[in-house]
């Protein structure tokens, strides 16, 4: 019998230590070491040669001899998911989907399984958290039924899963979830760092050698990161995060890694009784509850990948009660709020150092691009001066430290989206007007400085 030993593995980066450490010397995280019991056989180098189920092995090939045709993506009914994946599902790809418990990961993948099966793709749905009866109950509620190509397999052992894949020969495999699967050769507990790493490596080998697309569900930690070693995200082709509040109906699907497309795309869904429903025009949703003539409100046309979205930026500026003014932000960067307030105080003459500031991007969306600076500045000034903005006006522009309004990209798409939603005027950087085709049914006003922008927006 092989001798067992104990080691400690960092759950964040996978660093191995013979003793417990409070802080990982590799990634610097605290209290991330987990104890694992391993045998001598576990430390041996495994056979990692890529061999397909048909016995084909990979071999060195001249790059000029490689067939360079594009991977034949197959699209599904969900245009939102197609957009986030970069145009459709790539055969042989390994996709990791993470999100909070109850956010809708299993619901999304079961609906996707039904759509792929409807188009003739053979799908194997492997569940380690539910029985076949429970999956069937959920599929009936979602309307996923009367399909000849969708197989359900309640199993957690990777040896049995490999045999099932070899027998069924599916085009797509769903693993729900990777933390419940186990490799028989690894002596660690289910869900441990070694188990997650071994299972993911096995799934990647299956996907690449047999040209099978595999979707993997991953649990997340309290901090919102996918549980398991950080190498898990490096091993897969695409990492998607399913975001949203369980107490609200809207869900955001965002790509943070994608080898086959952009990482800036955003998919928006609404959770209803029959599952997840696509939101075709999210701008209307983000603006539908906006109050007219409200102070501290400004509309920005933000770009999420190739999609322009109109979002309301709300600001509340109140006198500070304590010695140090507070800066609180939801959906926007708190440090950028402090920077914009400093520019407003220095370049626009607003006395904000003794004011508490609370900023929010309405609708639960997170905005990170520089083009939201002007809308943030105008919402802050509107709340501070107690002057409402024009409800039919939106703002686009980056704010520099010297008070200048800098140009942004894709200005025509932004203006076109504002025009489509019925806005009458848009304030943009003046330098963006150079070469702009002025054929929009909207008043486009160019500004150079923040003082000029405040004068136009607040009519001061």
Instruction: State phi, psi for 67 to the nearest 5 degrees.
Output: -65, 115
Q: Measuring CA to CA, which residue among 314, 414, 392 is closest to residue 358?
A: 314
- Across the strands, what pairs with 150? 123
Helix axes 193-210, 158-168, angle to 10 degrees: 10
| 104 is known to lie in a ligand binding site | yes
Does the annotation flag 105 for ligand binding? yes
Give Cβ neighbours of residue 54 (< 8 Å, ≥ 6 apart): none
Distance of alpha carbon 238 from alpha carbon 213, whole angstroms: 11
CA–CA gap between residue 162 and residue 296 (Å, rounded): 57
CA distance 440 to 419: 7
At 163 the three-state DSSP class reads helix
For residue 184, say whether it is annotated as part of any ligand binding site: no
Angle formed at CA 81 by CA 80 and CA 83, multiple of 5 degrees: 65
C-alpha 143/C-alpha 273 separation (Å) is 11
* Cβ-Cβ contacts under 8 Å for 238 (sequence gap 6 or more): 85, 93, 94, 95, 96, 255, 257, 258, 259, 260
- 3-class DSSP state for residue 457? helix
The C-alpha atoms of residue 112 and residue 195 are separated, in whole angstroms, by: 27
Q: Residue 128 has which token pair? A: 């380690």
Q: Residues with Cβ < 8 Å from 137, sequence gap 6 or more?
A: none
What is the arrangement of strands in the sheet containing 355-361, beginning at the earlier edge strand?
327-330, 355-361, 307-319, 297-304, 393-395, 425-429, 443-447
Q: Say if residue 363 carries a ligand binding annotation.
A: no
CA proximity to 364, closest of 189, 103, 159 = 103
Cα separation, 95 vs 207, in Å, equals: 10
- In this structure, what token pair is assigned to residue 73? 């993506």
Q: Report whether 117 belongs to an annotated binding site.
A: no
Q: Which of 362, 383, 384 shows the shortest CA–CA distance to 299?
A: 362
Query: Is residue 215 within 8 Å of 126, Cβ to Cβ?
Result: no
8 A C-beta contact, residue 395 and residue 300: yes
Q: Is 100 annotated as a binding residue?
A: yes
CA 367 to chain centre: 12
Q: Do residues 240 and 260 lie in contact, with contact meaning Cβ atoms separated by under 8 Å?
A: no
103 annotated to bind ligand: yes
The verdict on whether residue 106 carries a ligand-binding annotation is: yes
Q: Is the CB of residue 211 less than 8 Å from the CB of residue 91? A: yes
Feature table: binding site for ATP? 99-106
Residues making up the annotated binding site are 99-106
């Amino acid at each position: 019998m092989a001798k067992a030993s104990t080691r400690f593995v960092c759950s964040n980066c996978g660093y191995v230590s013979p003793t417990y450490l409070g802080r990982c010397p590799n990634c610097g995280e605290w209290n991330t070491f987990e104890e694992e019991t391993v045998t001598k056989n576990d430390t041996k180098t495994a056979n990692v040669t890529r061999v397909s189920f048909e016995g084909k092995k990979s071999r060195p090939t001249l790059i000029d001899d490689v067939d360079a045709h594009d991977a034949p993506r197959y699209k599904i009914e969900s245009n939102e998911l197609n957009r986030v994946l970069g145009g459709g599902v790539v055969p042989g790809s390994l996709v990791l989907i993470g999100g909070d418990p109850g956010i809708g990961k299993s619901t999304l993948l079961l609906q996707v399984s039904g759509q792929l099966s409807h188009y003739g793709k053979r799908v194997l749905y492997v569940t380690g958290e539910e029985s076949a009866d429970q999956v069937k109950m959920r599929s009936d509620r979602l309307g996923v039924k009367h399909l000849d190509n969708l197989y359900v397999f309640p199993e957690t052992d990777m040896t049995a899963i490999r045999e099932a894949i070899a027998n069924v020969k599916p085009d797509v495999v769903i693993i729900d979830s990777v933390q419940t699967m186990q490799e028989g050769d690894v002596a660690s507990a289910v869900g441990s760092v070694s188990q997650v790493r071994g299972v993911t490596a096995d799934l990647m080998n299956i996907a690449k050698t047999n040209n099978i697309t595999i979707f993997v569900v991953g649990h997340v930690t309290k901090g919102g990161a996918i549980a398991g070693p950080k190498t898990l995200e490096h091993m897969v082709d695409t990492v998607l995060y399913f975001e949203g509040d369980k107490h609200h109906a809207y869900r955001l699907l965002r790509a943070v890694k994608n080898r086959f497309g952009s990482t800036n795309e955003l998919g928006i869904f609404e959770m209803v009784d029959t599952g997840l429903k696509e939101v075709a025009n999210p701008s209307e949703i983000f603006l539908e509850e906006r109050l007219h003539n409200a102070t501290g409100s400004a509309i920005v046309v933000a770009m999420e990948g190739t999609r322009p979205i109109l979002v309301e930026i709300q600001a509340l500026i109140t006198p500070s009660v304590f010695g140090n003014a507070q800066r609180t932000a939801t959906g926007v960067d708190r440090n950028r709020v402090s920077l914009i307030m400093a520019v407003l105080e220095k370049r626009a003459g607003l006395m904000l150092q003794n004011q508490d500031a609370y900023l929010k991007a309405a609708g639960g969306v997170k905005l990170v691009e520089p083009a939201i600076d002007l809308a943030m500045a105008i919402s802050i000034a509107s709340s501070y001066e107690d002057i409402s903005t024009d409800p039919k006006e939106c703002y686009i522009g980056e704010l520099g430290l010297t008070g200048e309004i800098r140009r942004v990209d894709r200005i025509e798409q932004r203006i076109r989206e504002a025009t489509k939603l019925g806005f009458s005027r848009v304030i943009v950087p003046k330098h963006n007007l150079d070469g702009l085709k002025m054929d929009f049914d909207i008043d486009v006003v160019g500004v150079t400085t923040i003082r000029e922008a405040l004068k136009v927006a607040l009519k001061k």
